[in-house]
Chain A
Amino acid sequence: MSKQKQFISLVVMVGLILTAPLFSQGFSDQLNIHGFVSQGYLKTTENNYLASDSKEGCMSYSEATINFMTSPVDRLNIGTQLYARDMDEDGNLFVTIDWAYGDYRWKDYMGFRIGRFKNPVGLYAKLRDVDMARVPAFLPQSIYAESERDLNLAINGVGLYGNRPISILGDLDYEVVYGGYNIVDQQSSFFKNQYYMTAEPIAMGMMAMPGIISSTLTGTSNELSTIENVRGIDLRWNTPVPGLLLGSSINQLEFLWNYDANIDMVFPTADPASPYTMSQAVPIAGAYDIRTKIFFGEFQWNKLTVAGEYRTFDIEGDIVIGTTESHTKTPREMYYGMGTYQVNHRIAFSTYYSVFYANSDDKEGADQVVLGRPDHSAWQKDLCFTGRLDINDNWLFKAEYHMINGTGQVQGLHNPDGLKEDWSLLVLKSSFNF
Chain B
Amino acid sequence: MDLDLKGSKVAVTGGSRGIGKSIATLFAAEGCDVSICARGPETIEKTRAEIESHGVKSFGTALQGRDGEAVRTWTRDTCDAFGGLDVLVCSLSAGGGTNDERYWYRSFEIDLMSATRAVEEAYPHLKSSENAAILVVSSMAAAETFVSPMAYNSMKAALITWSKQLAEQFAPKGIRVNCLEPGPTMFPGSNWEMIKVARSRTYSGVLRQQPTRRMAEAEEIARSAVFLCSPAARWVTGATLRVDGGYTKGVQF
Real binding pair: no
